[in-house]
Amino acid sequence: MSMRSFLALVCCLAVASIACGQEFKSGIEWPEPKVVTPGDKPADPPSDAIVLIGTEDLSAWNGGEKWKFEDGVATAAKGQIKTKQKFGDIQLHMEWASPDEVKGSGQGRGNSGVFLMDTYEIQILDSYDNTTYFDGQAGAVYKQSPPMVNAMKKPGQWNTYDIIFTKPVRNEKADVIAPARITVIHNGVLLQNSYPIRGSTHWHKAPEYDRHKDAESISLQFHGNPVRFRNMWVREIQPIEPTFVPEDSEMVRYRADWSTEPITATPPQESESDKEEAGKKEADQKKAPKKEEAKAEKAKPKKEKMKEEAKPQPKAEEPKQDAKKSDKPE
């Protein structure tokens, strides 16, 4: 490369750097994100996951001995089971299948459910060509929000749920100031998109927020149908927190839901043409009343104008003499 070409390249890069502007730096210092090794396949548990149903047994569950377990598959029977460990904010993966043989209809066909914090139910149901109420079919936040679509596989085939859940935010009095939120992906299809849960999911009454701890069990329901489960694991979500935040920074991230914080949008920068247009609008607005008065004056009938002109004009007041001064010359 010749010296002339080199200098031309340097000049181009300098111009491009100036055009791009100065790099924004927030001043916030962050810890290095920890390394998590993903599974060999997307459904396999990553290195920091807690396995709830794996290849060995149901020892992670209270009541697990009541269910049938064989070759890594747990089959619902004789009551609800709950995890021994308690959780708050989580990422949950699970696979489930309705019975191969179709029996019953509506809520009586392949019915179960996964409860987060032992309170908020995502419905499990054989919703393949099975009519029922929409906020009670597979992927629904039970009795609150139907799934956006029906992504159910045929009876007997394995379905996947990938769930992101954040617990409700409470104040010092334990009142909920930000709702729990849930995202549900069924067989790779989004069903619930950060849905704000209205409270506990009851069959017999309206939702309301019950008081519970910041961490509670995950539970699986037995609803009379031998629904099967396998490859179920959970990750506890721990938001990354800054190690240092400048006092003048407006980019502080809180653990509480951002919906509880006022968010002020940055006003857009006005170009010269925008300023000129705004100036014209302002001038037109000032002229508008005068134009309206002129139009109103023109619209008056001739007789009314003649009457106004014929009205006697008030005489100008004569200036008053200063009482302190004498009328006589000195």
194 part of a folded domain: yes
Average pLDDT, stretch 301-326?
54
Average pLDDT, stretch 157-174?
94
Q: Tell me, what's the pLDDT at 66?
A: 94
pLDDT tops 90 at residue 149: yes
Contact 81, 220 (CB under 8 A): yes
For residue 96, which amino acid is it?
Answer: W
127 part of a folded domain: yes
| CATH number assigned to the domain comprising residue 182 | 2.60.120.560
Neighbours of 68 (CB within 10 A): 13
Q: Tell me, what's the pLDDT at 303?
A: 54
273 part of a folded domain: no
What percent of the chain shows pLDDT beyond 90?
Answer: 53
Chain mean pLDDT for the chain: 83
14 part of a folded domain: no
Query: For residue 46, what are its two tokens?
Result: 């990553």
187 part of a folded domain: yes
213 part of a folded domain: yes
144 part of a folded domain: yes
Q: Tell me, what's the pLDDT at 325?
A: 43
Average pLDDT, stretch 73-79?
94
* Widest pairwise Cα distance in the chain: 132
Q: Tell me, what's the pLDDT at 62?
A: 95
Q: Tell me, what's the pLDDT at 261?
A: 47
Q: How many domains does the chain have?
A: 1
83 Cβ contact partners less than 8 Å away, ≥ 6 residues apart: 52, 60, 61, 62, 217, 218, 219
Strands (E), the chain: 50-53, 61-62, 68-70, 73-75, 81-83, 90-97, 112-116, 120-124, 159-166, 169-170, 176-178, 181-186, 189-196, 219-220, 228-236
Q: Domain limits at 180?
A: 97-236
pLDDT tops 90 at residue 128: yes
Q: Tell me, what's the pLDDT at 47?
A: 96
More confident of the two residues 249 and 308: 249
Banded model confidence at residue 253, pLDDT cuts 50, 70, 90 = low
Banded model confidence at residue 131, pLDDT cuts 50, 70, 90 = very high
pLDDT tops 80 at residue 275: no
Residue 284 is given by DSSP the state H
297 part of a folded domain: no
∠ at Cα 76 (205, 78), nearest 5°?
75
Average pLDDT, stretch 166-175?
90
